[in-house]
Amino acid sequence: MQTRKLGNSGLEVSALGLGCMGMSFGYGPAHDKKEMISLLRSAYEKGITFFDTAECYGPFLNEELLGEALSPFRDKVVIATKFGFLEGDSKKGLDSRPEWIRKSIEGSLKRLNTDVIDLYYQHRVDQNVPMEDVAGTLKDLIQEGKVKHFGLSEAGVESIRRAHAVQPVTALQSEYSLWWRTPEEEILPLLEELGIGFVPFSPLGRGFLTAKIDENTQFDSTDFRNTLPRFTPEARKVNQALVDLLSKIASDKGATNAQVALAWILAQRPWIAPIPGTTKLHRLEENLEATDLVLSAQDLAEIEYAASKITIEGSRYPEHLQKIAGK
């Protein structure tokens, strides 16, 4: 497995990480714990050293899962987790008060069965707490040896600059893929300027870009994609045009849609490490092969030209959630 460094921080991770949320939360009922432990350990054996979780995934179930699964080789992997929701529950709203961050870190350390968090993200920017207070608390936690690196998730330009001025930000985690390219406008240039790494979540469009979902797909009643405007049957029908483009390129390359989508992201910057999620070993293996798929400058130009003619239908979040994304 190739490795990458997240910006100027020196934090080295596998070129592809593993987003673990879906094992416990978000995409239907939690999966069998033994099966997920086996999958996580297989991921490590196949070269993945970068694992992403959060206290609110469950809540708490996902951290406990990783704590058990990764304990045999804890010192050889990078674990990223997140704070920032009241009582660790995303349904209860944001809370990044310094006192809550300190409570959160103690819970995460215990659940993850570790004495230090490698990369600790603020899950979403809390408009009620000055970013300087958040970054200052992380600076203290780093000095105390409880955290190695500070990260932000879905933060905007102003928040990133304010945080970075207090405590250098190692990585920004935000959505980025061929069907959500807004970070290219302001975020990627800023990260390059400041030497911050980028960790795209949902690099496969929450599964849509894999060509395994169409307008007729029925999601589990607890799957949060049911609430996303981009995933209405009408939007999926329109957005199929992007999947068809990927399918054509994949056919030409003897690859899969997922592999092309991931290879495209990896080709954008050397300090980008996407974290596709999966609960299936064969999908994990498929995704890993993307690191060996090289897209030439001509390939990338052709993708750019074709994608520029496709208009994506639907917002990525419902209106009430958009206000906490990218501030």
Q: 221-238: per-residue pLDDT in tens?
A: 999 999 999 999 999 999
Assign residue 244 the CATH number of its domain: 3.20.20.100
Stated pTM of the model: 0.97
- pLDDT of the residue at 140: 98
DSSP conformation class of 207:
G
Percentage, residues of the chain above pLDDT 70: 98
Per the prediction, the chain carries an average pLDDT of 97
Is position 327 within any domain?
no
Is position 229 within any domain?
yes
- pLDDT of the residue at 84: 98
Domain of residue 140: give its range: 3-322
Query: Which residue in the list 27, 44, 57, 317 is annotated as catalytic?
Result: 57
Note the pLDDT tens digit of each residue in 267-324.
999 999 999 999 999 999 999 999 999 999 999 999 999 999 999 999 999 988 876 6
- Res. 6: pLDDT tops 80: yes
- Res. 177: pLDDT tops 60: yes
- Res. 326: pLDDT tops 80: no
Is position 174 within any domain?
yes
Q: Are 195 and 8 in contact (CB under 8 A)?
A: yes
Amino acid of residue 309: K
Is position 94 within any domain?
yes
Dihedral sign of CA atoms 60, 61, 66, 72 in order: positive
Is position 304 within any domain?
yes
* Number of domains within the chain: 1
Is position 30 within any domain?
yes
Whether residue 98 has a cis bond before it, omega within 30° of 0: no
Q: What is the mean pLDDT of residues 34-44?
A: 98
> For helices 297-308 and 233-253, what crossing angle results, to 10°?
160
Is position 90 within any domain?
yes
Active site (annotated) includes residue 57: yes
Higher per-residue confidence, 120 vs 322: 120
How many residues can be counted in the chain? 327
The Cβ-side half-sphere exposure at 262, using a 13 Å CA radius, reads: 30
Is position 122 within any domain?
yes
